[in-house]
Structure 1
């Protein structure tokens, strides 16, 4: 199979498609991967559960949905045509604009014909004899592919709602991660929002403007900083377009894979007055500036607490009711150990008389009822309930597919105690199975589009190496996988990030192993490691030779 041609046949169990590569997911990583492989002359089949491209941005249509990475970072760098032809309107783009960008890129690159939408891959099994992957979809179709690439992303499977009586509520119920495509009205209604992570923080101010009453159910308060979003000036946009090559090169050599300001200055290297002035300046500028004010906030707990207390003070300045302000102040975990949030008027919303904070640490939810939400102390009647309860992050999307590797070994068994891989790209026991942006890489700690491009490039180069050298399979070695996981663990021990109960460690999903599954050494270091592995003849990987020549 080669030269971009798909082979199809029909059997008693439905259609069988034979391709060189199967790519699961049509987000930014999946689109980039399909584009790269097609350009190498491979036949490719993309599968996407949604009705179009965009990945999480196809589904996330909730009120206020917006990217908290700067638009000029959250975009492809591999196509100069797309960079020059597309123009972002805001510093932080809203969901409709991001989805429009994804559709623009798909059309500009002519990718839609390579994807089958509204289709979910239910299982994928490696055939040891034929040395290829056999995937089955929920349409009863079968796809046979030499290479299987999981472009399912770190946040794509919503967490199940764990409240008793979840089906009893008779009002309108909406899930932020699966929002309707039609407009939803909150006018004159009593609305409840469950969850105050980045999604809930974006939803609350928007719904508060329309709802008759809004009840915000908060278990763990998040640190959130003012986004201070603004339209992009045309002269600035033109400047960026002229200097994209230098900006992209700079981004690839940073710890986050982006161009936001980052300081090498430890907090205690400046006087108390100077650091206060620096924090005030960053807070006033808004956006991501505050994150880069000091270099040691995730390694020095004393420095971290000083910055955390500064933010708590800002909450107290904004929220007028002292009791509400105190309940909104995060305590008990380091700032930035949970995903840092950016907001527009989140804290200000609690000054509105129609907005009520329900502190679930003091008065937890007991169950959902026909009329609303029952806490230990009372029943709150609602017309609308919004679940902003997050995702089964990093591993959920992979485990949603019944993946069987060599000898029928199941991924669910391999990952019983937490995700394991080599470089976050491949696994021992699962030949020719690649992951673009999941567990054990930088994932949520880096600009995902930059990471997607880095990993699709690496995977494409590995496949090209195999085809040029008549190699049938590639597989991570057990020793290299062990060493990589030990390196992730050693880095985590130096960081404050594992000290928070977050989806980074699986704490948001009942029964999930508590493991910090992210590489925290920085995107730039991760990229250097991946490049070094390639330069050293794919150190840590084993290959099997083809039984017959491979067309290239």
Structure 2
């Protein structure tokens, strides 16, 4: 395929037109490079284009989920609330795209199917499903951490009603009024859907396997006064976010040791009432390392959940986690989600020990043969996180080695920015970089795309054409990543954080969890030292 006649020759191909892809395209163009972006969606937005399901919204505060490289770009957009919904987020991404005039360099409704590296020429040949054959020096992936949906339930084509995956929910929506509706999955997406549609459907049945700790969201509206207040803090936000643990504005404020039991409870209650992710990311950091502290904080959250479920035994058993600690999974924010299960038109089915066997023509059949009949089925069944977006593409590096095969054996990268054996393949939001887990995505993606842009600029300034991680450099980063991850309780939890939701996927904590600020510092040190973990030729 590398010998195919090119239909276009560019300096860089950028995969994806979401938060990372748009900024990456902008930065590389600013260097004077010719860049072509590709996205399978029909317009910009990335996750905010695909995820149009009812209730989709931020769980990072709107004023921190923003680009910080341009003060006027930041201040000329006004958010309507603390945690806006998908339609407003999509409008914001259109605003950014049009402001930076990015659309002209992106091909939409176009999926990259293959990318092969030619060692003789030091260039990539990129193929698309529309017949494009693009010859490029750099192949930059901004495909996203959670962009490869899992579709692992049998019989989805057999259902006689309407069946949709949350990741491809129709833009025009579904008419759910008066209908029998099933939602499969109670992760962050399922929670948003369930709490939103419950009042509108005839009857809702939720199929739950893995229970989630949840925190109530407080989502005030923003008028001119609130908008002016957060915009006035631009310099502070820009200076703070890149260096905090989570890439959000708050930081760990308390230590367990030396704090009285009474004061600990007061602190937990105060932060809980904030209605944000602060309890997870800025309360007591020791809960990630010490079992007893994890259990104490977990029990605090469990008690909150039990109270809201009226201590109903079935609901508590199905929805309140007991086999892992608070914060070792992604913690969803919600609005009256638990109260949904107290409604007369809502049923909850625990499929932990009696799993879904398959979809039948009439509905969902469980392993014990029970058949639940529906008019509509909504599947919120998760993603092949971190690796899935790229392993579904035929990516081949030196000597024809396959990225799908390499990551099928062991998930390894160098800082989540590159992979040994694949020169000039540069990546964002892939394993071993901060992304999705314990990270405000815009903060992390801005840092990663800026590092990539600077690395390309430095490469050209030094008169070199290729950069590739050395085996030793990759070994060192993997060792550091694992040392950090394995010191925490996160490494002991069965979740998508470790790829546990994908059968056969190698186990490794997928995201770097040593802190956004620490990661930035290590990336900056790598660049300042002349990229010692890379071979540059």
Question: What's the counterpart of residue 121 of structure 1?
Answer: 112
Q: Which residue of 2 aligns with 1:100?
A: 91
Post-superposition Cα deviations, 1:343-366, rounded to whole Å, max 9, x if no partner, equal 011101011111111011243222
Change (3 A) 1:417 1:515: farther
Partner of 1:542: 535
Instruction: Tell me, in whole angstroms, the C-alpha distance in 1 between the residues paired with 2:101 and 2:119.
Output: 34
Distance 1:262 1:461 in 2: 28
Report the equivalent of 1:549: none
Corresponding position: 1:465 with 2:458: yes
Name the SS of the counterpart of 2:205 in structure 1: strand
CA contact (8 A) 2:428 2:449 kept: yes
Q: 1:263 and 2:252 equivalent? A: yes
Match of 1:428 among 420, 437, 440: 420
Q: 1:382 maps to which residue?
A: 374
Instruction: Say if 1:25 and 1:47, in contact at 8 Å, map to a contact too.
Output: yes
Query: How far off is 1:378 after superposition?
Result: 2.0
2:291 corresponding residue in structure 1? 301
Counterpart residue number, 2:48 = 57
Distance in 2, matches of 1:535 and 1:13, equals 39
2:523 alignment counterpart: 530
1:510: Cα distance to partner? 1.5
Once the two structures are superposed, what CA deviation does each residue of 1:210-237 show, in whole Å capped at 9, x if it has no partner? 1111011000110010011111242232
Decide whether the 8 Å contact of 2:384 with 2:502 is kept in 1. yes
Q: Match for residue 237 of structure 2? A: 247
- Which residue number in structure 2 is paired with residue 441 of structure 1? 433
Q: Comparing 75-84 with 413-422, which one deviates more in the overlay?
A: 413-422
Q: How does 1:129-528 map to 2 (within 5 A)?
A: 129-160=120-151, 162-259=152-249, 261-291=250-280, 292-320=282-310, 321-375=312-366, 376=368, 378-444=370-436, 445-528=438-521
Which residue in the other structure is 1:67 paired with?
58
Aligned counterparts of 1:252 and 1:64: Cα–Cα separation in 2 = 29
Query: 2:358, 2:405 → 1: CA distance?
Result: 33
The answer as to whether partners of 1:13 and 1:141 remain within 8 angstroms in 2 is no
The 2-side partners of 1:163 and 1:36 are apart by: 41
Gaps of 5+ in 2: none
Q: Is the 8 A contact 1:157 1:396 kept in 2?
A: yes
Cα deviation, 1:232-251, whole Å, max 9, x if unaligned, reads 24223212212201211111
| Per-residue deviation, 1:269 | 3.0
- CA apart distance, 1:45: 0.4
Task: Verify the 8 A CA contact 2:156 2:163 in the aligned structure 1.
Answer: no
Instruction: Please state how far the C-alpha of 1:295 moved relative to its aligned partner.
Output: 1.9
Please list the CA deviations of residues 300-350 of structure 1 after superposition, one character each: whole Å capped at 9, or x if unmatched: 111111111111111121113333233211111111111111001110101
State the alpha-carbon separation in 2 of the partners of residues 264 and 188 from structure 1.
Answer: 48
1:272-296 deviation line (CA, Å, top 9, x unaligned): 2211122222222211232222121
Deviation at 1:206, TM superposition (A): 1.0
Mapped contact 1:192–1:385 kept (Cα < 8 A): yes
* Secondary structure class of the residue paired with 2:13: strand
**How many residue pairs align between the two structures?**
531
Measure how far apart 1:297 and its partner are. 1.3
The structural deviation recorded for 1:413 is 2.3
Q: Secondary structure at the match of 2:285?
A: coil
Give the whole-Å Cα distance in 1 for the aligned partners of 2:342 and 2:405.
49
Matches of 1:366 and 1:474, distance apart in 2: 48
CA distance in 2, matches of 1:33, 1:263: 31
The alignment yields a C-alpha RMSD, in angstroms, of 1.4
- Cα deviation, 1:35-78, whole Å, max 9, x if unaligned, reads 00101100000011100001011000001001111111111111
| Alpha carbons 2:245, 2:251 under 8 Å: kept | no
Report deviation, 1:414: 1.9
Q: Distance in 2 between matches of 1:165 and 1:446?
A: 36
3-state SS, counterpart of residue 297 of structure 1: helix
Whether the aligned pair in 1 keeps the contact of 2:6 and 2:135 (CA below 8 Å) is: no
Query: Using the alignment, how far apart are the partners of 2:334 and 2:239 within structure 1?
Result: 29
Aligned counterparts of 1:517 and 1:324: Cα–Cα separation in 2: 31
| Rounded Cα–Cα distance in structure 2 between residues aligned with 1:52 and 1:166 | 27
Give TM-score, length-normalised by structure 1: 0.94
The whole-number CA distance in structure 1 between the counterparts of 2:162 and 2:363 is 10
Shift of the 417–334 alpha-carbon distance from structure 1 to 2, 3 Å rule, reads farther
Displaced runs of 4+ in structure 1, greater than 4 A?
A: 12-15
Q: Distance in 2 between matches of 1:284 and 1:66?
A: 20
Q: Distance in 2 between matches of 1:126 and 1:327?
A: 49
Report the Cα distance in structure 1 between the residues aligned to 2:407 and 2:380, rounded to whole angstroms: 27
The answer on whether the counterparts of 1:217 and 1:358 sit within 8 Å (CA) in structure 2 is yes
Rounded to whole Å, the distance in 2 between the matches of 1:319 and 1:102 is 38
Quote the Cα distance in structure 1 between the aligned partners of 2:202 and 2:257.
47
Describe the SS at the equivalent of 1:285.
coil
Q: CA deviation at 1:14?
A: 7.7
